[in-house]
Amino acid sequence: MSATRTVTVGSSHGLHARPAKLFVEAAQGTGVQMTLAKGEKSVNAASILGVMSLGVEKGDEVVLTAEGENTEAALDALEEFLKTDHDEA
């Protein structure tokens, strides 16, 4: 089973450094094969280098694609993550 969702990034620094690390950990924790895409480029959501290479900024639209079981729950979790500001306090 495959599912896709478009999300607008809410983190004030996008997916750079710490937020990217947290996102990758969340993606790995879902147990679902997940990709993250910005524009024409798509990467494994569980790869810190891949995620950072997308250059995702606040307000960017990204596309999450999940493959396997429990895709909706995994997409829900990562969508919520991307909408939340994970700026360092």
pLDDT per position as a tens digit, 13-59: 899 889 999 999 999 999 999 999 999 999 999 999 999 999 999 99
Q: What predicted TM-score, i.e. pTM, was given to this entire model?
A: 0.92
Q: Which domains does the chain have, with CATH numbers?
A: 2-83 (3.30.1340.10)
Any catalytic annotation for residue 86?
no
- pLDDT digits 0-9 by tens, 64-84: 999 988 999 999 999 999 999
Least Cα distance to 81 among 70, 2, 64 occurs for 64
User: What order of strands is seen across the sheet that includes strand 61-67?
Assistant: 2-8, 61-67, 33-38, 41-44
How far is the CA of 63 from the CAs of 50, 74, 88, in angstroms? 14, 13, 24
Catalytic residue among 16, 44, 58, 63: 16
